[in-house]
Structure formats: structure tokens, C-alpha cells
């Protein structure tokens, strides 16, 4: 939706980026580590050397939010440099860093907030111009990412950046219903969201498995429905402030009429028929549903939502609305009578009636309604927003009918897919059939982090760094699609995010230590590098988990799409280009592959011994055996390909059979190198 500047086209491909820098000025050629990439960037050559005494001048707007953002920047900068930094924030038009910000922005940030900024770095100063504080916050994040080492010291390249987001709605949903996440976890994730310019934290607060937000009007919601694991109103308000300080909106979700066991256990009078006897521990779709036929239901919802608007100022309220089979609606005479009286011919029609009533309540509370695909029914007014978990066809169908939409289906993190798969999925693909007007209705996208298999230790590695790549999809121009360059930058951003507070890298070590109950996990760490978690649904097939299932097994410790996976892919393709060659590229690729297979193979005897004393490694016994065979096949394939000698008769068939065997489900993890190994084996004569 935004125009790309000319400068952009030279930036879009990583390799070109370096040569651009080299062409413009031979002094300090180095690739940048920005993510998301700005819509326009021109390197001017040379560096801005960071002085130990900074004067930060607020040239126009001087708000508390802006000052706090500047102070956070200062602190992070000093931490990155590792030495003290004296700095002064003054109201003036000149300084080391000048922030010329036209206004603090809307009192309540919405999708229309102007988030653009201009950032100019010269040899002597840094200038940020933005229409709002939110733009300034984004500019400071870009500036922080520009601070990179050159010749043993940190500096900032001289640069002109003119940046604004492609989509106004760039969200991350975290499901805190199925498993509760402490506030500290949400705060560190909001920090990370800010670092990659996401702007909507969609807070999934209620589920069959738990009601997580305090209601003073209806205290049993958490009193009975949460196991004591919920956010107080003060905590929620503080989180809203925390997010706003980082340019992030908080859209709360209260699931209705389905996914409502916790509501109905607390207040059985709201139930359609079957009343729950406790919080639901099982996952999956529940039969319980709020009764849409009683006036008391709407009175309750009106009071509840009114109370929630005192906590959540955002214009949008998400009512869920998905997965409501509600068999009671089909069988209860009272409900059937109501449906006949109101000419509602099926459950979908009854749910549409319910939605209309809730919409009227929200409208009276000056809120707009948002819901999952299912809320989209013919009578629905056009000012609701549909979040699509069904996919782009469903999203586009909504847009053609005039509904605003947010795409979520391709951004389900529990699919455990590689970042590149999410990255290439576009809310408005290049070949979209939507008209320009319809495209305007696609507000953006939302990453969905469902909570069945999450706890506070594992959540970060499921969200990060993959979500940073998706954040680029939502912010940067449509043609930014260079996978190797994305992965190159993602590795740097990943570490920067941990510096900011997430634990997606260290949590793997912590998980492995917890399993081994020993500090030294060097062998297990190498062994683990050969595996990824399987997807949510594959896991669910292998182990029928519920809310009380411990999440402390090997699959919980390891990460989806670790960097090694893409490195192996690159090395395999490079090596297979000229497997017999000894040119430097091929040799490096061969070394990488050999080193991987050799070191994983070397870890096996130790891990095997350790498994004897680590009960939670016992289910991996079959994987250990497979890995022994597979690493050996890898080494043999490289040897054959390098020397150009044919494999013994039957080897290829046997090897492919071994690979096929390793693809069968076991221990809820998959060997991450099977596609590359298959390519190698197939290439052998």
C-alpha cells in the first residue's frame, strides 16, 4: 500500500546491499542488520562516531512518553557499548540527537496512527522527524539496530531513512487462557514486539481452560475459573501503559459464545444447557456455549464489557466467536422455541443473532467488534473486523463483501514451520485479485501463538525469532522477499532480542539441563541441534496432552527452525552444485556438512550414556539409533560425491529407506536435516 522509493530496489537483495555500500564509499562496507527493512534507505558513506557525552534535543513535542522512550534508548545504548554514557535530554533544536516530533499522537492509538518517520545520520549528528511519538519510537528502534561494530568499536553508518509501515495492523496474539503466562513474560514479549515494530498485542484472555482477567463485578470468573492464575485489573492497566509506551495497542479478547467453559463454571446461569463441573483440562473444541436466548445473558455481557472498557482503552474488542458447535442449541426445547420465534433456522443464525446483540452493546460502549472468521455472517454490519484463521481465501471473500480483515492463518506459530514459510505468506500477495479499494480493507496480519503446549519457559522460543521475520512481512515493502538475506539478519536480530529480555535461546539450554539434571550439556546440545519439535497437531496425535501435562520433555526444550537448518540447506545446495570441486565455496560447504554430521555422530555415545540416567531421554532411544545411521549416511554421501565414486550397490535404496523410516513419528521431534540428506543421497551415483 506504500510506495517504494528508488533507493529501496537496491536494498531488497542482501548481496546488493553490500555492493551498494561498497560502490557508494569504499570506507566501511558492511551489511546492515535492520529488521524490518525500511521502505527507503540510502547509505551516505562514513560513520557517526558515538561520543561518550550525548545531548538529546527535543525540538518540538516534549511528552513524558517521548522522554521515556529516549531514556530507554540511552540505557540500551550504554548497555550495548558496555561503557558509561553521559547524556542530557534538553528542550532545544540542536544536539547530538535531535527529535523533531510534531505531536504525541492520539490519546488512544488506533490503526490510523501515523507511524512514519525520517531518520538522518550525518558525521556529526542524528536527526529524527516524525509526525507522532509512535513514529519516533520506531525511529529509535531503527537507530538502535544501526549501532553495529566497525573496527573494534560501535558506530552508526551515515544514512537517510524514510520509513513507514505497509500495513497498519501488525499484531501478535498470545493465548494466556490454556496456559497462564506471568506478566513478566508478556512484558518481555512486548519489548521484543516494539523492537521489530509490531503494534498490536492481541491478548487472548479467556478460554475453556481458564479465565485470566479479574472482574470486580463478577469475581467468580477468576475465583472459580482460573486456578488463581489471572491478571489483576491493576496489572492489566499497567500492561496497557507499558505497551503504549512502546507504540503498541492492546486488543483484549473475551471468547463468546463458545470456548467459554471457564465463564460457565463460574456462572452456570449463563449456560445453554450442560453446565461444566470444573475448568476444562482437555484441549479441543468444547460443547459448552453461552445461552444466546436469555436477556440476562446480554445484561451480564453488557456489565462485564463495560467494566473491561475501564481497563482496555483500545477501540477494538475481540469477542472470539470461533468453534461453537453448541449441541444444546439443537436439542433444548427452550432454545429451539426461541429460534423458531425469531426465524433463526440453524446454529449459525442463532450465533449471528448473538453477535448482533453483542455488537449493539459494544457500539453503545464506543467500541468496535472484532472476531474470528465465523462471526462473518450476511447480516453483519461492515464496521466489524474479521480475523482470518481460515486463510487468505476467507480473508479475500470478506474484503469483497466490504469487511475489514486481518490475516492470521499463515502465521500460526504452533505449526513449527520455518520462518521462511511464514515470511513468504503475504496478506496481499503480488498476484492478489482484489481491487485497490478491497486491498485497503486488508488491515494487516496477526501472528497467533496458541497456548496448548506453552509455558513461561518455552513460549519465547516458539515466538522468537520467527515473529521478527513476520513483522518484516507486515511492515516492509511487498517485494522484500530475499530468504538468505532475511535469515542473515534474523540471526543478528535474534540475539539482540535476547539482549532486550526474551529467553528464546537460553531456554533451550535450560530445558536440556533440566532434562539431564547436569550442568554440562555439551554433548546433548550438539545432539539436540539435529532436531526440531513437530507441529501442534503431530504432537497431539502422539501424546494426547491436556492442561496438566508436564511440558518438560525434549520436544519442549528444543526450538523450531534453529539457524543450523537453513545453514545446512544453503551448504547442501552449494555443495551439490559442484560436489567434486575444490573451489572455496564448495569446500566451505563440504566442510560445514561434514562438520555437522561428524559432530552430531560424535555426540551420540555420550548422549546414549546420559540417557541411562535421565529418564526423560528414554523416549528418544529410537531417535538415537536413527541418528547414528543417518549421520553415517551423510558422511558416506559426502565422501562419494566428493570423490566422484559410485556408492555400493543397494546403498542408495537402503539409505532412502532409512530416511523414510526416520520420517515416522517418534518422541514428538523430527530430524531437521532429512530433506538435505535426501538430496545428498539422491545425488550419489
Rounded CA separation 181/162 (Å)? 37
Q: Is 234 in the site for its own copies (CB under 8 A)?
A: yes
* CB contact at 8 A, 592 and 571: yes
Q: Report the half-sphere exposure of 14 (CA within 13 A, side-chain side).
A: 15
What is the per-residue DSSP string for 596-658? HHHHHHHHHHHHHHHHHT-GGGGGGHHHHHHHHHHHHHHHHHHHHHHHTPPPPTTHHHHHHHH
Specify which residues 407 forms β-bridges with: 388, 445
Q: Is 648 in the site for its own copies (CB under 8 A)?
A: no
**Phi-psi group of 517: left, alpha or beta (phi > 0 → left; psi -120 to 50 → alpha; rest → beta):** left
> What is the nearest approach in angstroms of its own copies to the Cβ of residue 84?
5
**DSSP type of residue 38:** P
> What is the nearest approach in angstroms of its own copies to the Cβ of residue 132?
23
2 vs 616, beta carbon nearer its own copies: 616
* Grid coordinates belonging to 265: 463454571
> What is the nearest approach in angstroms of its own copies to the Cβ of residue 85?
8
Rounded CA separation 158/146 (Å)? 10
44 vs 552, beta carbon nearer its own copies: 552
Among 293, 351, 461, 553, binds its own copies (CB under 8 A): 553
Among 106, 269, 546, 591, binds its own copies (CB under 8 A): 546
**Stretch 64-103 residues interacting with its own copies (CB under 8 A):** 78-85
Which range of residues in 330-338, 426-434, 544-552, 573-581 is near its own copies by CB under 8 A? 544-552
Q: Is 506 in the site for its own copies (CB under 8 A)?
A: yes
> What is the nearest approach in angstroms of its own copies to the Cβ of residue 504?
10
Q: Give Cβ neighbours of residue 280 (< 8 Å, ≥ 6 apart).
A: 208, 209, 261, 262, 286, 288, 547
Distances (CA, A) of 547 to 132, 179, 280: 43, 7, 8
Give the number of residues in contact with its own copies, rule: CB under 8 A.
50
Rounded CA separation 532/458 (Å)? 13
* Grid coordinates belonging to 301: 455481557
Q: Report the half-sphere exposure of 567 (CA within 13 A, side-chain side).
A: 17
Q: Is 541 in the site for its own copies (CB under 8 A)?
A: no
> What is the nearest approach in angstroms of its own copies to the Cβ of residue 17?
18
Among 31, 110, 563, 675, binds its own copies (CB under 8 A): 563
Q: Is 461 in the site for its own copies (CB under 8 A)?
A: no
Q: Is 53 in the site for its own copies (CB under 8 A)?
A: no
Q: Is 576 in the site for its own copies (CB under 8 A)?
A: no
> What is the nearest approach in angstroms of its own copies to the Cβ of residue 87?
10
> What is the nearest approach in angstroms of its own copies to the Cβ of residue 465?
9
* CB contact at 8 A, 659 and 552: no
What is the per-residue DSSP string for 82-131? TS--EEEEEESS-SSEEEEEEE---SS--TT----EEEEE-SS-EEEEEE
Among 357, 513, 628, 658, binds its own copies (CB under 8 A): 513
Among 1, 229, 245, 505, binds its own copies (CB under 8 A): 505
Rounded CA separation 283/385 (Å)? 27
Which range of residues in 6-14, 251-259, 605-613, 676-684 is near its own copies by CB under 8 A? 605-613
Among 153, 479, 585, 663, binds its own copies (CB under 8 A): 153
Sequence-ordered strand ranges (E) for 95-233: 97-103, 117-121, 126-132, 148-150, 153-163, 169-175, 200-204, 206-207, 210-211
Q: Is 496 in the site for its own copies (CB under 8 A)?
A: yes
59 vs 521, beta carbon nearer its own copies: 521
> What is the nearest approach in angstroms of its own copies to the Cβ of residue 588?
16
Does residue 625 have an active-site annotation?
no
Q: Which of 302, 323, 538, 608 is catalytic?
A: 323
Cα-Cα-Cα-Cα dihedral sign, residues 480, 485, 486, 490: negative
309 vs 552, beta carbon nearer its own copies: 552
Outline where 465-618 has alpha helix (H): 466-475, 483-500, 506-516, 522-528, 536-542, 554-557, 563-577, 584-612
Q: Is 643 in the site for its own copies (CB under 8 A)?
A: no
The set of long-range contacts for 73-79, using a CB threshold of 8 Å and a minimum separation of 24, is 73/140, 73/143, 73/144, 76/144, 76/500, 77/50, 77/144, 77/147, 79/499
Phi, psi (5° rounding) for residue 271? -75, 150
Q: Is 549 in the site for its own copies (CB under 8 A)?
A: yes
370 vs 523, beta carbon nearer its own copies: 523
402 vs 615, beta carbon nearer its own copies: 615
Q: Is 145 in the site for its own copies (CB under 8 A)?
A: no
Among 49, 51, 90, 182, binds its own copies (CB under 8 A): 182
> What is the nearest approach in angstroms of its own copies to the Cβ of residue 175?
20
162 vs 498, beta carbon nearer its own copies: 498
Among 291, 498, 561, 569, binds its own copies (CB under 8 A): 498
Which range of residues in 199-207, 264-272, 300-308, 491-499 is near its own copies by CB under 8 A? 491-499
78 vs 102, beta carbon nearer its own copies: 78
Crossing angle, helix 183-195 and helix 233-245, to 10 degrees? 10
Burial 160-199 (b: 16+ CB within 10 A, else e): bbbbbbbbbbbbbbbbbbbbbbeeebbbbbbbbbbbbbbb
Percentages (nearest 5) of helix, strand, coil residues in the chain: 45, 15, 35
Which range of residues in 113-121, 445-453, 506-514, 583-591 is near its own copies by CB under 8 A? 506-514
Q: Is 580 in the site for its own copies (CB under 8 A)?
A: no
* CB contact at 8 A, 192 and 498: no
Nearest Cα neighbor of 553 from 619, 628, 625 is 619
267 vs 536, beta carbon nearer its own copies: 536
> What is the nearest approach in angstroms of its own copies to the Cβ of residue 605?
16
Q: Give Cβ neighbours of residue 45 (< 8 Å, ≥ 6 apart).
A: 24, 25, 27, 158
Among 614, 671, 677, 681, binds its own copies (CB under 8 A): 614
> What is the nearest approach in angstroms of its own copies to the Cβ of residue 89?
14
139 vs 611, beta carbon nearer its own copies: 611
> What is the nearest approach in angstroms of its own copies to the Cβ of residue 173?
23
Q: Is 608 in the site for its own copies (CB under 8 A)?
A: no
Q: Is 237 in the site for its own copies (CB under 8 A)?
A: no
Q: Is 467 in the site for its own copies (CB under 8 A)?
A: no
Q: Is 27 in the site for its own copies (CB under 8 A)?
A: no
Instruction: Please tell me whether residue 171 adopts helix, strand or coil conformation.
Output: strand
Rounded CA separation 280/668 (Å)? 24
Active-site residue list = 323
Q: Which residues bind its own copies (CB under 8 A)?
A: 78-85, 149, 152-154, 182, 184, 234, 491-492, 494-496, 498-499, 503, 505-507, 509-510, 513-519, 546, 548-553, 563, 611-616, 618
Amino acid at each position: 500500500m506504500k510506495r517504494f522509493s528508488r533507493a529501496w530496489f537496491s536494498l531488497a537483495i542482501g548481496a546488493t546491499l553490500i555492493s551498494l555500500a561498497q560502490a557508494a564509499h569504499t570506507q566501511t562496507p558492511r551489511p546492515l542488520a535492520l529488521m524490518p527493512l525500511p521502505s527507503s534507505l540510502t547509505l551516505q558513506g562514513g560513520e557517526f562516531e558515538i561520543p561518550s557525552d550525548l545531548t538529546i534535543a527535543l525540538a518540538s513535542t516534549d511528552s513524558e512518553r517521548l522522554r521515556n522512550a529516549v531514556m530507554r534508548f540511552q540505557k540500551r545504548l550504554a548497555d550495548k557499548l558496555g561503557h558509561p554514557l553521559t547524556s542530557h535530554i534538553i528542550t532545544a533544536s540542536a544536539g547530538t540527537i535531535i527529535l523533531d516530533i510534531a505531536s504525541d499522537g492520539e490519546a488512544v492509538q488506533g490503526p490510523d496512527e501515523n507511524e512514519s518517520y525520517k531518520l538522518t545520520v550525518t558525521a556529526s549528528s542524528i536527526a529524527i522527524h516524525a509526525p507522532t511519538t509512535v513514529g519516533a519510537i520506531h525511529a529509535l528502534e531503527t537507530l538502535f539496530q544501526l549501532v553495529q561494530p566497525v573496527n573494534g568499536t560501535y558506530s552508526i553508518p551515515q544514512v537517510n531513512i524514510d520509513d513507514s509501515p505497509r500495513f497498519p495492523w501488525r499484531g501478535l496474539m498470545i493465548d494466556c487462557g490454556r496456559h497462564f503466562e506471568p506478566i513478566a513474560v508478556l512484558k518481555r514479549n512486548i519489548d521484543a514486539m516494539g523492537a521489530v515494530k509490531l503494534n498490536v498485542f492481541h491478548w487472548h484472555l479467556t478460554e475453556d481452560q481458564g479465565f485470566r482477567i479479574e472482574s470486580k463485578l463478577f469475581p467468580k470468573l477468576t475465583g472459580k475459573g482460573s486456578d488463581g492464575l489471572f491478571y489483576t485489573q491493576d496489572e492489566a492497566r499497567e500492561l496497557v501503559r507499558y505497551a503504549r509506551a512502546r507504540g503498541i495497542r492492546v486488543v483484549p479478547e473475551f471468547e463468546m459464545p463458545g470456548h467459554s467453559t471457564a465463564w460457565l463454571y463460574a456462572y452456570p446461569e449463563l449456560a445453554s444447557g450442560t453446565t461444566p463441573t470444573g475448568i476444562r483440562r482437555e484441549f479441543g473444541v468444547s460443547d459448552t456455549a453461552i445461552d444466546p436466548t436469555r436477556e440476562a445473558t446480554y445484561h451480564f455481557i453488557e456489565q462485564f464489557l463495560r467494566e473491561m472498557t475501564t481497563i482496555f482503552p483500545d477501540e477494538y474488542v475481540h469477542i472470539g466467536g470461533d468453534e461453537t458447535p453448541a449441541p444444546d442449541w439443537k436439542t433444548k426445547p427452550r432454545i429451539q422455541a426461541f429460534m423458531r420465534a425469531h426465524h433463526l433456522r440453524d446454529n449459525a443464525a442463532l450465533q449471528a443473532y448473538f453477535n448482533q446483540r453483542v455488537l449493539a452493546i459494544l457500539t453503545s460502549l464506543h467500541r468496535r467488534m472484532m472476531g474470528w472468521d465465523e462471526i462473518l455472517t450476511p447480516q453483519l454490519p461492515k464496521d466489524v473486523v474479521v480475523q482470518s484463521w481460515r486463510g487468505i481465501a476467507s480473508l479475500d471473500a470478506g474484503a469483497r463483501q466490504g469487511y475489514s480483515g486481518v490475516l492470521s492463518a499463515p502465521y500460526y506459530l504452533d505449526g513449527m514451520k520455518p520462518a521462511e514459510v511464514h515470511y513468504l505468506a503475504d496478506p496481499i500477495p503480488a498476484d492478489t485479485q482484489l481491487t485497490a479499494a478491497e486491498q485497503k480493507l486488508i488491515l494487516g496480519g496477526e501472528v497467533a501463538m496458541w497456548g496448548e503446549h506453552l509455558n513461561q519457559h518455552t513460549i519465547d522460543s516458539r515466538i522468537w525469532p520467527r515473529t521478527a521475520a513476520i513483522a518484516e512481512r507486515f511492515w516492509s515493502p511487498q517485494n522484500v522477499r530475499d530468504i538468505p538475506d532475511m535469515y542473515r539478519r534474523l540471526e543478528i536480530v535474534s540475539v539482540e532480542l535476547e539482549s532486550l529480555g526474551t529467553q528464546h535461546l537460553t531456554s533451550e539450554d535450560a530445558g536440556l539441563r533440566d532434562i539431564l539434571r547436569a550442568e554440562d550439556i555439551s554433548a546433548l546440545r550438539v545432539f539436540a541441534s539435529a532436531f526440531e519439535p513437530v507441529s501442534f497437531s503431530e504432537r497431539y496425535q502422539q501424546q494426547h496432552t491436556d492442561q496438566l501435562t508436564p511440558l518438560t520433555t525434549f520436544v519442549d526444550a528444543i526450538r523450531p527452525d534453529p539457524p543450523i537448518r537453513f545453514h545446512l540447506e544453503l551448504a547442501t545446495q552449494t555443495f551439490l552444485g559442484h560436489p567434486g570441486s575444490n573451489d572455496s565455496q564448495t569446500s566451505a560447504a563440504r566442510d560445514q556438512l561434514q562438520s555437522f554430521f561428524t559432530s552430531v555422530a560424535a555426540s551420540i555415545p555420550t548422549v546414549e550414556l546420559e540417557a541411562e540416567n535421565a529418564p526423560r531421554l528414554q523416549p528418544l532411544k529410537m531417535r538415537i539409533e536413527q541418528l547414528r545411521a543417518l549421520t553415517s549416511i551423510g558422511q558416506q554421501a559426502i565422501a562419494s560425491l566428493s570423490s566422484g565414486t559410485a556408492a555400493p550397490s543397494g546403498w542408495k535404496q537402503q539409505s532412502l529407506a532409512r530416511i523414510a523410516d526416520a520420517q515416522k513419528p517418534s518422541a514428538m521431534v523430527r530430524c531437521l536435516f532429512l530433506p538435505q540428506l535426501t538430496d545428498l543421497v539422491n545425488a550419489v551415483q
